[in-house]
Structure 1
Amino acid sequence: MSGFGQSGPLAGEPGHDVTYAAHAGVVALSGTSGGPPAWGPGVPVADLCAAMSALLAAVHERTSTGKGRHLDVSIRDCLSHWLNARLGPFHHAGLTALDDQRAMALERPGYHTFTCVDGTAIAIGAIEDHFFGRLVRTLGLAEWAEPRWSAYRAREEAVDGINAAVAAALATRDATTVLAEPAGAGVPVARVLPPLEAVEASGRTVDHPTAGPLLPFPVAMPS
């Protein structure tokens, strides 16, 4: 495994997670829409992405041939591969300008983080039509409950107004109310948990002698 693979113009160049992501086109889509790129996922996604890809390739090779082989794993290329989740929608919408691509990737109607009146950060994922309808009804946003906003394409064009309305509604409610109302109606809503609290809430930690509580392999497998 290397930053840019064993051949090509960047082979042997020094790098780190953030620079691999910059080369991969991922940093350009990060930050906030209309602002400068900002790399801040908080975890080394390029390194982890490459490790996952390498392991999958190795297991596939062993399963297919019963043998091992040398694998040339480029961290940059592995993370670039994850761009496919965005490249398809960009192509479908005919978006070639970076600002338009960033807006599609970062600004989605009813899909964002918001702040309640008590200062609690809340994440809402109401992209699908049925989720969005439930969200605006429980928040009393009659304007956005009109039939013309029932299709996602229409909401895309009004993303700023929709998210501003949701933000204003949440700014008058405390977290307990928000988590009870939309969540009770079946809308994906969650409090934004700090890392240590999220780890504790998982209930799946194992104690490491030097690193402290860590999370085990995430896939439940029969023993």
Structure 2
Amino acid sequence: MTHKNGALAGIKVLDLSRILAGPSCTQILGDLGAEVIKIEKPETGDDTRSWGPPFFEGTSAYYLSANRNKKSCFLDLKSEGDREKVFAILENTDILVENFKPGDLQRIALDYESLASRFPRLIYCTITGFGLQGPYRDKPGYDALIQAMGGLMSITGPTQNQPTKVGVAMTDLTAGLYAAVGILSALNERSHSGKGQHLEISLFDCQVASLANVAMNYLVSGEVPQPLGNHHPSIVPYGTYPCADGEIMLAVGNDAQFSRLKKIVGNGLWENEKFNTNQGRVEHRAELEAPLNQIFASQSRAHWLGLLEAAGIPAGPINNMRDLETDPHQKARGLFRYMDDGKTPCLSNPIRLSRTPIKKYSPPGKN
């Protein structure tokens, strides 16, 4: 499964990870051309193989989402004989990715400290829930738990103080992305120093980092952010609005766009100077939102989206998965596709390189 023209062609990865954060990281590396060997438990394999329904030819959709472009090898890491096979693989391995609980791999001499002297060029990536130090070190690191403890749920959901989990395992996926960036950074550094290193990624750390401007708002103002439903804490109007036949998303990002919006919806109330700037609109959010909701509710989505698009105001429909499948832009970009067997569905990798494009989409290995 090595892609001879891939950006990471010639790089070999040993994947000891399970579930989503680690596998999503190694899938990115595999998509980019690295050879990825995934070690799975004998008999059952990665836990997510059975996380269903739905299943495709006996394999869960969950597993398929993060394990393409990999070979699978079923080994018992507690077996000395099977560990010797792992050591043999490591002789020609550039990167190791694991997400075991802290201390588990140390007990079987597969932790970084045990391997570093024997494999000095090895880039060893550890992904945990809460990191290798700190009072939460030994807590289980499930995505929803991290969303809750890492602040994301407190700012997500309806405005009626109902903390809500994001609909996809975003903390796992964010950690996988940070891990891939860290690995590529270490790989570049190794090209100069000739030495590998230990990369530590914590889901908790990644979640806090992803709070971005919302956390900065708190650090600057001292005000605890509250959930705003589908609306924006710092921009108005910016959110979902009900039309006669459903909702649309409106994202008025600057004063010029708001000026054009006023001409479309026509409401004398908005001529008040307090709405001329975004700061004023944020300070008088409720006074502006109430009439805007009523105006949009008077016509269909198609009516408003046509006017908004013609005026250059960012707006769009709220698509479900079936809507997205038939969306003309999605089709033009080829984001829903099949793997190289022509039958296993998957999502395209969004990285588009000009000279070394991602071409291979091999189904997960079974041997």
TM-score range, shorter chain: 0.7 to 0.9
- Aligned residue for 1:182? 308
- Report the Cα distance in structure 2 between the residues aligned to 1:123 and 1:28, rounded to whole angstroms: 22
- Paired residue for 1:78? 206
1:222 to 349, 354, 357: 354
Alignment-mate amino acid for residue 45 of structure 1? M
Measure how far apart 1:106 and its partner are: 4.9
Aligned partners of 2:249 and 2:266: how far apart in 1? 18
Say whether 1:117 aligns with 2:244. Answer: yes
Q: Separation in 1 of the partners of 2:238 and 2:232? A: 11
Change (3 A) 1:157 1:79: same
Is the partner of 1:221 in helix, strand or coil? coil
Task: Select between 75-84 and 48-57 the one with higher mean Cα deviation.
Answer: 75-84
Shift of 1:15: 3.1
Q: Does 1:69 align with 2:197?
A: yes
Partner of 1:96: 223
Aligned mates of 1:130, 1:177 — CA distance in 2: 22
The structure carrying a bigger helix percent of its residues is 1
| Aligned counterparts of 2:344 and 2:285: Cα–Cα separation in 1 | 42
Question: Conserved in 2, the CA contact under 8 Å of 1:133 and 1:145?
Answer: no
What 5-or-longer segments of structure 1 have no aligned partner?
Answer: none
Q: Is the 8 A contact 1:126 1:188 kept in 2?
A: yes
What are the within-5 Å matches in structure 2 for residues 109-148 of structure 1?
109-118=236-245, 120-148=246-274
Could you report, residue by residue, the CA deviation over 1:143-197 in whole angstroms, capped at 9, with x for unpaired residues?
A: 2144431111110111112222221111001111101112211110100111232
Q: Look up the equivalent residue of 2:242 and give its one-letter code.
A: T
Q: Which structure shows the bigger proportion of residues in strand conformation?
A: 2
Q: TM-score, normalised by structure 1?
A: 0.88
3-state DSSP of counterpart to 1:71: strand
Counterpart Cα distance in 2 of 1:163 and 1:89: 22
Letter of the 2:352 counterpart: A
1:166-181 equivalences under 5 Å are 166-181=292-307
TM-score w.r.t. the length of structure 2 is 0.55
Q: For residues 5-48 of structure 1, give each alpha carbon's deviation from its aligned partner in whole angstroms, at most 9, with x where no partner exists.
A: 12221112113111111111111111122422111x31110000
- Equivalent residue number for residue 337 of structure 2: 206
Tell me if the contact between 2:239 and 2:251 (Cα under 8 Å) persists in the aligned partners.
yes
What is the deviation of 1:4? 0.8
Count of equivalent residues: 218
2:134 partner letter:
G
What 5-or-longer segments of structure 2 have no aligned partner?
A: 1-126, 356-367
Query: Does the CA-based 8 Å contact 2:130-2:205 persist in structure 1?
Result: yes
What is the RMSD computed on CA atoms of the aligned residues? 2.2
Whole-Å separation in 2 of the counterparts to 1:131 and 1:4: 42
Partner of residue 2, structure 1: 128
Mapped to 2, the partners of 1:63 and 1:179 lie a distance apart of: 46
Q: What are the residue-to-residue correspondences of 1:48-59 with 2, within 5 Å?
A: 48-59=173-184
Would the alpha carbon gap of residues 97 and 86 (structure 1) be closer, same or farther in structure 2, given more than 3 Å must change?
closer
1:36 is aligned to 2:162: yes
Residue 170 (structure 2) pairs with residue 45 (structure 1):
yes
Q: Which amino acid aligns with 1:178?
A: W
Question: Contact 2:237–2:289 (CA<8 Å) still a contact in 1?
Answer: yes
